[in-house]
Amino acid sequence: MKTLEPDICVIGAGSAGLSIAAGASQMGAQTVLIEKGEMGGDCLNYGCVPSKALLVAGRAAQAWRQTAAFGIDSPEPTVDFPRVHAHVRDVIDGIAPLDSVERFTGLGVDVIKDKAVFQDGRTLVADGARIRAKRFVVATGSRASIPPIEGLDQVAYLTNETVFSLTERPEHLIVIGGGPIGSELGQAFRHLGAEVSLVEMGSILQNDDPELAEVVRRRFVEDGIRLYEQAKVSRVAAAGNGVAVTLELAGGEQRIEGSHLLLAAGRQPTVEGLGLEAAGIDYDRRGIKTDARLRTSNKRVYAAGDVAGGPQFTHMAGHHAGVVIKNALFRLPAKVETKAVPWVTYTEPELAHVGLTEAMARTAGHQITILRWDFHENDRARAERQTEGLCKAVITPKGKILGASIVGPQAGELIQPWVLAMSNGLKISAMAQVIAPYPTLGEVSKRAAGSFYTPKLFGERTKKLVRFLLRLP
């Protein structure tokens, strides 16, 4: 058995692993990258990329249905689902070369296509080679959780790893899980003409501000999605060529039948089969345990991305990559940023957030002021007839920004100034003083920020001061 002794060995060619391997190699470190599955990981093949490609197809169909508001009459769009599938595949194929074995080999990375298993605290085996690296990084990501539902092992079901392989549109898609993945895919398929039932044990999008999540909920109902919230799935069974799902609701049991079943009930870290115990690496059901520098209990080994627990976002995996490189290569004590991590749910309308929600801030005991500005007061939103939604900011009485949420058109783009402000410790005055181009959707943030000063600006003290100054010669 041959032995490799690189500077760094990365396990997993997803978002975190690819960024670390590319950065390390280009900075002069001898790098080994191990991947047993698809290069690009979940994000490219089963997550962010295909889901956004499917979402934009659904939005195109929905926009066609809504042209009458602009004086343009059009018939119901004809959805050619095999061509929708081809569009999704084309988007993946267009990005895949950037994540390919060939590209990384060209960057000087030694790519091994096999599973990796630790033998001890500083040695692992893959593809017949023994690898003894100075530093290791586990970046094996996560996968869909399969809930313990009676009868599930007797029916066909989809997850995010298989749903994008569909070449025919489901007649009636039942989605179990009302988080971001279930909400996005459920609405996408509804916009593409499928009947959709969305089942959630609690409330949909329950990690977001309820006031803003309600805007998305109303749109789902308008779109014709059948919502079943506070619903427990007691069992599933085959029903003809499809599936039947029995729900426990406040009013008793209800049975719904559909053609396809999609599981979107959370995710779990990929830790099995890695030999973590042999390497002395602690982990639990939430993932590998790390410190703020992403070091595991074995200080030669780092964990990054979804497998390290915490927010499971591609942009967080990218942030982790920077932290690992600073620590592993430059020996700098870089730590993971946690106070200004944004997230976006790409429903229609989009829902974006950074920092603390109102409920989080109150639970933490902060004295807060809530700022709001509605899209129906934005001229650009009125011109585009997208006036549903609002910008909501959570501020201390002295103007420190604790968090912000936006629900509305392009919320994922509009949240970025708030992320910048929080990352750099800017106060609300910085947002309020920005000169925003008119007419733009971005004015909602400026207006919300400016409302912090409205009570004082137009208060009685200001009026008295103005009257006094006007009496002066």
* pLDDT single digits (tens) 5-24: 999 999 999 999 999 999 99
pLDDT at 455: 85
- On whether the CB atoms of residues 458 and 441 are closer than 8 A, the answer is no
Query: Mapping DSSP to helix (H, G, I), strand (E, B) and coil, where does residue 390 land?
Result: strand
Domains of the chain, first to last: 2-143+268-328 (3.50.50.60), 152-265 (3.50.50.60), 349-457 (3.30.390.30)
**Percentage of the chain surpassing pLDDT 90?**
94
pTM equals 0.95
DSSP 92-127: HHHHGGGGSHHHHHHTT-EEE-S--EEEETTEEEET
Write the single-letter amino acid at 439. Answer: P
**Contacts for 305 with CB less than 8 Å, ≥ 6 apart:** 12, 14, 15, 16, 17, 139, 140, 141, 316, 317, 320
pLDDT at 459: 81
Which residue, 150, 215, 161, is CA-closest to 352? 215
- On whether the CB atoms of residues 443 and 397 are closer than 8 A, the answer is no
Which residue, 354, 267, 357, is CA-closest to 309? 267
The residue whose two tokens read 């749910």 is 345
Omega cis (within 30) before 349: yes
Q: Judging by DSSP bridges, how do beta strands 390-395 and 401-408 pair with one another?
A: antiparallel
Burial class (CB in 10 A: 0-12, 13-18, 19+), 162: middle
For residue 429, pLDDT over 90 is answered with yes
* Distance from C-alpha of 407 to C-alpha of 15, rounded to nearest angstrom: 27
DSSP 237-252: EEETTEEEEEEEETTE
Provide φ and ψ at 130, rounded to 5°: -95, 125
Both tokens assigned to 383 = 């011109």
Least confident interval from 12-16, 99-103, 469-473: 469-473
Across 29-55, average pLDDT: 96
Which residue, 195, 199, 162, 159, is CA-closest to 178? 199
Average confidence score pLDDT of the chain:
96
Adjacent-strand bridge partners of 353: 343, 405
**Contacts for 411 with CB less than 8 Å, ≥ 6 apart:** 344, 349, 350, 351, 352, 389
Angstrom CA distances, 357 to 134, 150, 381, 451, stand at 42, 36, 24, 18
Region at 28 (left for phi over 0; alpha for psi -120 to 50; beta for the rest): left
Across 82-111, average pLDDT: 97
pLDDT at 464: 86
State the CB neighbour count (10 A cutoff) for residue 150.
Answer: 12
